[in-house]
Amino acid sequence: MDKTVNNKAWFLVLPVLVIVAFSAVIPLMTVVNYAFNDTFGNNEFFWAGFEWFEDTVNSSRMHDALGRQILFSAIILAIEVPLGIFIALNMPKKGFWASFCLVFMALPLLIPFNVVGTIWQIFGRVDIGLLGRALAAIGIDYNYTNDALDAWVTIITMDVWHWTSLVALLAYAGLQSIPQAYYQAARIDQASRWAVFRYIELPKMKGVLLIAILLRFMDSFMIYTEPFVVTGGGPGNSTTFLSIDLVKMAVGQFDLGPAAAFSLMYFLVILLVSWVFYTVMTNLDRENAP
């Protein structure tokens, strides 16, 4: 017997598709247009082919920004993932303090990006900032506006403070899903704390940790507001990441063609890494399926 297909539900989805088209697809097509054309204004375009892509690939400026971006993302993941797991393991499992810790950990995530940058810009200033003046008082020569290492330490510390909570909350959710029977069996077998973590807790957290790594990689790889507010990409170009370099190219120099090609390649890198993580997560779900 043939089933009756009701397509009226598509009318409910249509407004969403229209909004997505205007907010994402149409701007993306505009970027694609600029990436393959050159313009001198007055809405006149001249075909440039893959010239802007070749210039971007061969640009030492792009290579330097990409190297700084990869290094920053690697440091962020190496710090925030283990630290978030450690915090989740030591958070209370139930009661008032569990709720208090969850709310307290969520507070940094509620602060807007530009406010986070402003907080740390003032916090690290040597003249009026609490951190800057405290370090100067104990004899540490700290100035994130003049020293590249101090700028990197400030930005990394700021990001760890802002986003470690996300990893901790996701890891905590994974730990809460583990049945108590697993822990009871471990106590009967007299398993060590490391053995419990290695064979019970870590496997159960794999799914949420992959999500945490994906989210933190995407955020750190596209970071713009916080380092721009704190250092403006300086001192020199030491904290000029891909996003900051792209904005300088498009807005500061008004090189729309190279900036469009740059942004498309930037987008494809994020898309490729997201696809890899999605594939790994899908395969993991299939392995864990009964």
> In 3D, which of 82, 113, 102, 83 has the Cα closest to residue 169?
102
Flag whether pLDDT at 282 surpasses 90: no
- 2 — phi, psi (to 5°)? -75, 140
For residue 1, being part of any structural domain is answered with: no
| Token pair recorded at residue 252 | 């500061």
Domain count for the chain: 1
Q: Give per-residue pLDDT as tens, 199-221.
A: 999 988 888 888 899 889 989 99
For residue 6, being part of any structural domain is answered with: no
**CA–CA separation, 274 and 256 (whole Å):** 27
**Dihedral of alpha carbons 246, 252, 253, 257, sign:** positive
User: Which range of residues forms the domain containing residue 171?
Assistant: 60-288
For residue 177, being part of any structural domain is answered with: yes
For residue 54, being part of any structural domain is answered with: no
Beta bridge partners of 37: 47
- 8 Å CB contact between 61 and 283: no
- 8 Å CB contact between 39 and 259: no
User: Domain of 119: which CATH number?
Assistant: 1.10.3720.10
For residue 143, being part of any structural domain is answered with: yes
For residue 15, being part of any structural domain is answered with: no
**CA–CA separation, 97 and 86 (whole Å):** 17
For residue 10, being part of any structural domain is answered with: no
| Token pair recorded at residue 160 | 């760890």
Encode 97-118: b = buried (16+ Cβ within 10 Å), e = exposed.
Answer: eeeebbeebeeeeeeeeeebbb
**Dihedral of alpha carbons 64, 65, 66, 67, sign:** positive
- 8 Å CB contact between 211 and 197: no
Q: Give per-residue pLDDT as tens, 63-102.
A: 899 999 999 999 999 999 999 999 999 999 888 888 899 9
For residue 265, being part of any structural domain is answered with: yes
Neighbours of 122 (CB within 10 A): 14
**CA–CA separation, 149 and 75 (whole Å):** 14
> Which position has the higher pLDDT, 25 or 212?
212
- Categorize the per-residue pLDDT at 230 as very low, low, confident or very high, splitting at 50, 70 and 90: very high
pTM value is 0.85
- 8 Å CB contact between 35 and 260: yes
